[in-house]
Amino acid sequence: MTLEITKITANIGARVSGVDISRPLGPETAAAVREALSTHKALVFDDVNLDDDSHQAFVRTFGEVTTAHPTVSSVDGVPNVLPVDSERGRAANHWHTDVTFVLNPPQATTLRSITVPPYGGETLIASSAAAYRQLPEPLRRLADGLWAEHTNDYDYAVADEEVDERQAAQRAQFTSITYRTVHPVVRVHPLTGERGLFIGGFAQRLVGLPPAESRRILDLLQAYVTRPENILRHRWSPNQLVIFDNRITQHYAIDNYDGLPRRLHRVTLAGDVPVGIEGKESYSIQGDASHYTPVAA
């Protein structure tokens, strides 16, 4: 078999074929997949035939894995696998980069489809590198100097009276440890040197600015990330694996499947501490995530 990489859109996404990822990858194949991920930001593998063990083994090809989540429980008996299940709520219908409220968020996220609804349930994945490139020069200069505080504990858009008991319990679990971390708004990718907007839903405030002005500037920058041209709209088939580079993308799970069963399993690759364009690293204000993730070199 020869590895084949086919672009899906100009700015993000490629389909990978000619490799059986349920078996150990040789070093050359692993390097080629890694390079494709750096180039295309999101990769789709079809007909993968993985279970939780071989899914984790695939991710471990590229480094250490995290546990399922800092506060949310894993698949029963499988501490490194997070169930993404419509039964557990559909809270991922907002733009975010996974777990950016910790000091070293996962460098990559993998999702494997188990149950797919008959319609809807797509995952949108956006290139924040393309967004950065598209910023007009004065906005780019502004973004270059900004740092943002990311937290898991903020007011969700849903009004309190719309939250039922189950949602309230989920939210209590999600925020059972409060995390606050300051990251550069422009992150330099450690493998490629490429710059990307590192914001997303957990970025709640800009350092040195009041909340209301922070919101307006974050919204302005975020509008570049979510331009249709920067988005891969992935329609799930059963038995697929999607990996995306969590250092330079955002994603959104569309809630458009009438609450029908939808289940994916997620395994994330432990990440490094983000670095801004002047070489300065992110720093933690609150919350210890050492039970969740090792720090990648």
Binding mask 42-81 for Fe ion (x = CB under 5 A): ----------------------------------------
Strand order in the sheet with 241-245: 4-7, 14-17, 42-45, 241-245, 108-115, 263-269, 82-85
Stretch that binds Fe ion, among 11-19, 51-59, 96-104, 196-204 (CB under 5 A): 96-104
- Options 96, 195, 205, 265, the catalytic residue: 96
Q: Which stretch binds Fe ion (CB under 5 A): 70-78, 93-101, 178-186, 279-287?
A: 93-101
Q: How far apart are the first and last CA of the chain?
A: 32
Closest CB 252 distance from Fe ion, rounded Å: 8
Place of tokens 């090792």: 294
Q: Which stretch binds Fe ion (CB under 5 A): 95-103, 118-126, 173-181, 278-286?
A: 95-103
Provide, rounded to whole angstroms, the least separation between the CB of residue 44 and Fe ion: 16
The Cα–Cα gap between 278 and 187 comes to 10
Closest to Fe ion by CB, 19 or 102: 102
If the CB atoms of residues 94 and 140 are measured against Fe ion, the closer one turns out to be 94
| Closest residue to Fe ion, based on beta-carbon distance | 98
**The pair of three-digit structure tokens given for residue 115, joined into one six-digit string:** 């149950």
Nearest approach, Cβ of residue 31 and Fe ion (Å): 26
Q: Point out which span in 92-100, 134-142, 209-217, 224-232 binds Fe ion (CB under 5 A).
A: 92-100
Which of 11, 41, 68, 98 binds Fe ion (CB under 5 A)? It is 98
| Residue 55 among the catalytic residues | no
Residue 98 bears catalytic tag = yes
Is 251 among the catalytic positions? yes
Nearer of residues 98 and 149 to Fe ion, judged by Cβ = 98
245 binds Fe ion (CB under 5 A): no
Cβ(53)–Cβ(82) below 8 Å: no
**What is residue 216's three-state secondary structure?**
helix
Catalytic, out of 180, 183, 266, 272: 266
Site string for Fe ion, 173-212 (x = CB under 5 A): ----------------------------------------
Active-site option among 40, 98, 189, 234: 98
Q: How far apart are the C-alpha atoms of 127 and 246, rounded to whole Å?
A: 10
Contact 252, 92 (CB under 8 A): yes
Reported in sequence order, the residue ranges of 117-230 that DSSP labels E, i.e. its strands, are: 123-127, 147-151, 180-184, 186-188, 195-197, 203-206
Q: Are 233 and 15 in contact (CB under 8 A)?
A: no
Could you tell me the sign of the dihedral formed by the alpha carbons of 83, 284, 126, 5, in that order? Answer: negative
**CA–CA distance, 147 with 212 (Å, rounded to integer):** 16
User: Quick check: 59 and 110 in contact, CB under 8 A?
Assistant: yes
Q: Please, which residue, 135 or 225, has the CB nearer to Fe ion?
A: 225
Are residues 279 and 285 in contact, defined by beta-carbon separation less than 8 angstroms?
no
Minimum CB separation of residue 259 from Fe ion in Å reads 19
Closer to Fe ion by CB, 98 or 272: give it.
Answer: 98
Q: Which residues bind Fe ion (CB under 5 A)?
A: 98
Provide the annotated active-site residues: 96, 98, 251, 266
